[in-house]
Amino acid sequence: MASHEEILADLKNRLGEAEFGRVTMESRLFWQSSLKCQRCGNSCVISDPVVLVEEDVQKIAKRFKIPYQKALRKYTKVLPDGRRSIKYLTPCKFLDSKTKLCRIYEDRPEVCRKYPFLAATPAFVFPGECPASMELYNSAKKKYEKIPDDPTYQALTKIFDANPALREAFRFLNFHALAVRAGEISEGEAMQRLSGYPNQKALNLAGAIGCAIFEQREIVNA
């Protein structure tokens, strides 16, 4: 049986660098937007390092009303590769041990906000320490086994095979819908990008198909 790395390498080779990157991001956005955090605190207990960007430190400094340089000294450490991380981890300094909640949640680091699927982790990985991600995995596994026999899937395949431009528009629309759900972009930014799509006719039809799927209507020929 092929390993996870071998499967990804084969997929990347068949799709090409650009398409593989797009499929990967679509997958990440889908799972992130579907995640229902169970507030277990597991990742806050075992994660080390928690890499910070400059904006993260600025937010921490502002939250505690201290100068930026003091926040650097008090709450961060320099890693061997030059990046910075939260200083006290396993468990994280900002984890409330009683409630299992983050004490700086509104100003939590970017890597925490993107956890688990939008963080810098290998593609298509469901972290075992996260019960919410494993719940998604088990649910998806059952659903995906039924996909080939699903009438909606069969209808969409027929429609998209006959109209590649419509397939591309549907993917573009779906990508931005997922990005909004995952909190990566605002609705206003998504609408601005959609308004600039070169094939508005295909995009409008893709939107109608999306609404039909959402409302569980029967999709017939387009």
DSSP line for 148-170: GG-HHHHHHHHHHHH-HHHHHHH
Q: Tell me the residue range of the domain where 91 lies.
A: 42-115
Residue 169 belongs to a domain:
yes
Residue 220 belongs to a domain:
no
**Contact between residue 76 and residue 86 where contact means Cβ atoms under 8 Å apart:** yes
Model pLDDT, residue 66: 97
151 and 206 in a single domain? The answer is: yes
Residue 7 belongs to a domain:
no
Distance between CA 216 and CA 29 in Å, rounded? 22
> Who has greater pLDDT, 33 or 13?
33
Percent of the chain with pLDDT over 90: 45
Predicted confidence (pLDDT) per residue in 51-100, tens digit: 999 999 999 999 999 999 999 999 999 999 999 999 998 999 999 989 99
**Contact between residue 61 and residue 210 where contact means Cβ atoms under 8 Å apart:** no
pTM for the predicted model, two decimal places: 0.67
Is the predicted pLDDT of residue 15 greater than 70, yes or no?
Answer: no
Closest among 173, 163, 162 to 206, alpha carbons compared: 173
Beta strands per DSSP E along 11-82: 51-52, 76-78
Is the predicted pLDDT of residue 106 greater than 90, yes or no?
Answer: yes
Residue 129 belongs to a domain:
no
Residue 37 belongs to a domain:
no
Model pLDDT, residue 139: 84
Name the domain count of the chain: 2
> Who has greater pLDDT, 22 or 4?
22
- Residue 13's contacts (CB-CB under 8 Å, 6 or more residues apart) are none
> Who has greater pLDDT, 121 or 134?
134
Residue 221 belongs to a domain:
no
DSSP 8-state assignment for residue 51: E
47 and 105 in a single domain? The answer is: yes
Residue 15 belongs to a domain:
no
Is the predicted pLDDT of residue 30 greater than 90, yes or no?
Answer: no
Predicted confidence (pLDDT) per residue in 159-180, tens digit: 888 999 999 999 889 888 888 8
